[in-house]
Amino acid sequence: MFEYKFVQATLGGFFTEANHHELIDEYAKQGWRLVQVLPMYYNSHGKPTDYEIIFEREAGN
């Protein structure tokens, strides 16, 4: 059996910095495994701006 965690990440923009590397490292240290990255929001040019990172680990960890 597995448990899942869904974390929102951004690629950054004019006023913000990307945070996906730090998020992946942080959750990996806690025993989570990266499963999927899904684009969630797009800018007016059709470029994804925010993502949902999906992690999994065995239940009970």
Range of the domain at 17: 2-58
Say how many domains are in the chain.
Answer: 1
- pTM value is 0.79
Q: What is the rounded CA–CA span in Å between residue 12 and residue 14?
A: 7
**Over 90: is that where the pLDDT of 3 sits?**
yes
**DSSP H helical ranges for 1-61:** 20-29
The number of beta carbons lying within 10 Å of the beta carbon of residue 58 is 10
d(CA 11, CA 30): 23
Q: 52 has which bridge partners? A: 8, 38
Residue 59 — very low, low, confident or very high, per pLDDT cuts 50/70/90? Answer: very high
Give the tens place of pLDDT for each residue, 4-53.
999 998 876 666 676 788 899 999 999 999 999 999 988 889 888 888 99
State which H helix or E strand residue 47 sits in: none
Give the distance between the most distant pair of CA atoms in the chain.
Answer: 43
Q: Residue 60 — very low, low, confident or very high, per pLDDT cuts 50/70/90?
A: confident
